Structures are given as structure tokens and as C-alpha cells.
């Protein structure tokens, strides 16, 4: 299963001493890592679908079988897939090409991300970061300090180290490249809330009796509980009933899917469409329950 679907794969992984690359882009680095460590399991997380496709083709072409990768935000990848202390090394290369103040919350090395990375690292495990942007180094060190769990080393990248094609080119052009190592020496401390979602075995369909009022649930926004929001869009008529396009955000974990509202002999059933690929979560069940309740309101 080199390319896997985090929604359906059995979790958390049983493996130990994992090497992980976050944001592998073209894949040069992760491929080298896989070749240099043929007996280790390498996991890659990416947000870009094009990068996922490219890596899939390159791994196949080169016959590499020890890289496991999926399209997911790294925070949720770590949260959902890894046991505590099961990761040996994490690599983050040139993560933030548009480093701006307003992107502060989304940065890969914000304290919340570093917290979840640190939890999953084994003791003495490290996060290796490379960047061409000095303010990113400063930001990362500040955030890391908040957690009190890392010993830190920083420096400039030199030609003596293993480099990707682009790094070699940049150094040749006289560009400064920086490296950071955050080594886990203690458990991370927090004085902030850690976001989480809960997977469930099954999301149960809900039966409603009598007439339904579809207008009640189209183009609406709902707060289901603290941090859980549902937005509904258009309605489509199908052979078995109706489909409603929806977006659910649980603590920032976003899923797009369709509700299916099926006609039964007496009444209707509200369900998640079988064609929607979703991670089954508590929030999804809440969303089904809410739509069922709303539909029967006069």
C-alpha cells in the first residue's frame, strides 16, 4: 500500500522507528531517503495532489516499496496515524515559500504542529528542517522553545552535505540556506488546547417519518458543538432520493461530502452518500443527526 487512503487504512500504524517527510513536493528527498534506508519504513504527507501523483509514478518506475504516502495535512497525519514515540526522524524541507505574518497560524512549525510532532517522536528522535528564509528559522525556534522539549542546533547548509539538485544550484548561486535540528529530550508541555477528532466505527443513518422540508437544510450554516461547523450547499435529485453537498469542519479538520436522503416506504433515511470518501468521525454522526432533525421541522 505505498499510496494509501488515511480514511480507510487501519490506524494507528503498528510500526516503530519511522522516518517521515512532510511536504515532499517533487519527491527528490524522500526517494533518496528510501534508497538510503531500504529496511526502514518512510512515510510522506503532502497537500498537493499533483505531488502525490508524481511520487506515485516515480516510486513505481524506480521499484521503491518502502515509502507510504497520503494526501493529508501533516498535523492530522501525525494525530491519526502514529502511536506516541514511534517516529525516529521527521524532515521538513523548504516548507514556507510565502512566509507572511498573516500565515502565522498555518505555519508548519507553529507550536501546535511541533507539539504533535514531538509527541510522536521517540526520545532522542529529531526534526530536521531546511529553509532559505531566516525569519522562518527565528519563528521556528521561538515556537519550539514554548514546548520545552527540544535541544536545538542551527547552522548554514554547506556543499559537503547531501543536497537536492535545487539546493546545490542555490548554494552555487550564493544563496544562504539554513538548517535546524530539534532533538526531543523531554515530553512537550502545553499551555494551549490540542485539537483532536474522534473516529467512530460507523456513522449510522437516521430514519425520519412523514413529510420533509428540504428548504430547511439547503445553503445553511450550523454550529454542531464547540469547534464543529457544518455548511450545506446545493441539492441534487437522484434516482433514490436527494443528495445535498456539504462541508464539515471539526477542529479545523475539513471534509467535503454528500448527504443522501433516501425515500422509504414510510418516510425517509438520512445518510452519508456511499460515493463520498470520508473519515467516519463523531462530528459526521452529529451532522447526520442534525440534518434529520432539521428536515422534519415545519
Q: Which residues are catalytic?
A: 96
Q: Which of 39, 96, 42 is nearest to 68 (CA)?
A: 42
**Residue 74 found at the interface with ligand SAM (CB under 6 A):** yes
**Residue 285 found at the interface with ligand SAM (CB under 6 A):** no
Which residues pair with residue 97 across a beta bridge? none
Minimum distance from residue 21 beta carbon to ligand SAM (Å) = 7
Q: Which is nearer to ligand SAM, 73 or 294 (CB)?
A: 73
Choices 92-100, 206-214, 215-223, 225-233; region in contact with ligand SAM by CB under 6 A = 92-100
Rounded Cα gap, residues 204 and 206, in angstroms: 6
Count other Cβ atoms within 10 Å, centred on residue 131.
24
Q: Which is nearer to ligand SAM, 167 or 271 (CB)?
A: 167
Q: Which is nearer to ligand SAM, 90 or 230 (CB)?
A: 90
Choices 12-20, 42-50, 78-86, 139-147; region in contact with ligand SAM by CB under 6 A = 42-50
**Residue 47 found at the interface with ligand SAM (CB under 6 A):** yes
Give, for 184, the enclosing helix (H) or strand (E). Answer: strand 178-184
Q: Which of 4, 141, 13 is nearest to 79 (CA)?
A: 13
- Select from 18, 43, 52, 95 the one that contacts ligand SAM (CB under 6 A): 95
What is the end-to-end Cα distance of the chain in Å, rounded? Answer: 49
Q: 29: which 3 cell numbers?
A: 528527498
**Residue 73 found at the interface with ligand SAM (CB under 6 A):** yes
- Select from 18, 20, 25, 118 the one that contacts ligand SAM (CB under 6 A): 25
- Select from 5, 16, 38, 48 the one that contacts ligand SAM (CB under 6 A): 48
CB-CB contact of 17 with 88 (8 Å): yes
Choices 24-32, 183-191, 203-211, 269-277; region in contact with ligand SAM by CB under 6 A = 24-32
Choices 20-28, 33-41, 246-254, 280-288; region in contact with ligand SAM by CB under 6 A = 20-28
Contact code string over 237-266 relative to ligand SAM, x by CB under 6 A: ------------------------------
Give, for 88, the enclosing helix (H) or strand (E). Answer: strand 87-93
55 Cβ neighbours under 8 A, 6+ residues apart = 3, 24, 27, 30, 31, 44, 46, 67, 69
Q: Which of 97, 113, 107, 98 is nearest to 20 (CA)?
A: 113
Chain residues in the site for ligand SAM (CB under 6 A) = 22-26, 45-48, 51, 73-74, 93-95, 97, 108
Amino acid at each position: 500500500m505505498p499510496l494509501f487512503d488515511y480514511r480507510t487504512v487501519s490506524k494507528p500504524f503498528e510500526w516503530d522507528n519511522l522516518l517521515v517527510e512532510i511536504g515532499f513536493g517533487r519527491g527528490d528527498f524522500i526517494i533518496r531517503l528510501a534508497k538510503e534506508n531500504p529496511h526502514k519504513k518512510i512515510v510522506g504527507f503532502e497537500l498537493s495532489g499533483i505531488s502525490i501523483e508524481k511520487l506515485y509514478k516515480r516510486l513505481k518506475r524506480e521499484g521503491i516499496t518502502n515509502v507510504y504516502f497520503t494526501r493529508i495535512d501533516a498535523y492530522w497525519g501525525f494525530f491519526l496515524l502514529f502511536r506516541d514515540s514511534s517516529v525516529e526522524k521527521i524532515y521538513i524541507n523548504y516548507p514556507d515559500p510565502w512566509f507572511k505574518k498573516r500565515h502565522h497560524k498555518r505555519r508548519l512549525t507553529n507550536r501546535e504542529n511541533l507539539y504533535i510532532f514531538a509527541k510522536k517522536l521517540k526520545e532522542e528522535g529529531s526534526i530536521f528542517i531546511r529553509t532559505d528564509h531566516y525569519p522562518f528559522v527565528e519563528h521556528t525556534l521561538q515556537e519550539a522553545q514554548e514546548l520545552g522539549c527540544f535541544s536545538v542546533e542551527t547552522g548554514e547548509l554547506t556543499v559537503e552535505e547531501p543536497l537536492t539538485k535545487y539546493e546545490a544550484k542555490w548554494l552555487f548561486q550564493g544563496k544562504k540556506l539554513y538548517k535546524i535540528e530539534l532533538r526531543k529530550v523531554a515530553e512537550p508541555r502545553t499551555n494551549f488546547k490540542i485539537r483532536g477528532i474522534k473516529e467512530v466505527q460507523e456513522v449510522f443513518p437516521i430514519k425520519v417519518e412523514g413529510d420533509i422540508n428540504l428548504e430547511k437544510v439547503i445553503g445553511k450554516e450550523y454550529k454542531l458543538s464547540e469547534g464543529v461547523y457544518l455548511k450545506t450547499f446545493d441539492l441534487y435529485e437522484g434516482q433514490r432520493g436527494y443528495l445535498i453537498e456539504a462541508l464539515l469542519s471539526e477542529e479545523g479538520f475539513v471534509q467535503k461530502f454528500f448527504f443522501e436522503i433516501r425515500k422509504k416506504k414510510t418516510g425517509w433515511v438520512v445518510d452519508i452518500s456511499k460515493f463520498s470518501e470520508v473519515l467516519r468521525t463523531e462530528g459526521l454522526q452529529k451532522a447526520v443527526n442534525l440534518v434529520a432533525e432539521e428536515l422534519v421541522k415545519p
